[in-house]
Amino acid sequence: MRRLAEATAGNGTQPPLNTTLAVVATDAALTKAQAQKLAGTSHDGMARAVRPVHLLNDGDTVFALATGEHALADGSPLALNDILAAGADLVTAAIVRAMLAAESVRTPGGMFPAYRDLYVK
């Protein structure tokens, strides 16, 4: 596997700056604080799939929302744990699927190689 720095070395270009955005939605009834916690734990899923992540020059962000259609299973705050774990797992899976499905693109701003063109052989 080639690293991105190796792929761009010697051609006068810098590795591209990247921002990863995710939205996690649930039909659970969450408070604002619980939705913020869901967004925070879903960031852990991003950290599993993206390297490097959460740098000073990117905008890696997870937004969480809840429709409020269903109360938490037993009404206890610990019932939220299953939703938090699922949020992290699903963000990881979504990023991996997206990276493997993406295609390289040439734009007026330059060539932007896809992950699979750089690392999957």
- Nearest to 60, CA basis, from 118, 120, 20: 20
The domains of the chain are located at 4-8+17-71+79-119
pTM of the predicted structure, to 2 decimals: 0.79
Phi-psi region of 94 (alpha: psi -120 to 50; beta: other; left: phi over 0): alpha
Give me the CATH topology for the region 4-8+17-71+79-119: arginine biosynthesis bifunctional protein fold (3.30.2330)
Beta-carbon contacts of 101 under 8 Å, excluding residues fewer than 6 positions away, are: none
Pull the structure tokens for residue 115: 């992950």
pLDDT (tens digit per residue) in 30-81? 999 999 999 999 999 999 999 888 888 888 999 999 999 999 877 777 889 9
HSE value, Cβ hemisphere, 13 Å, CA-based, for 73: 6
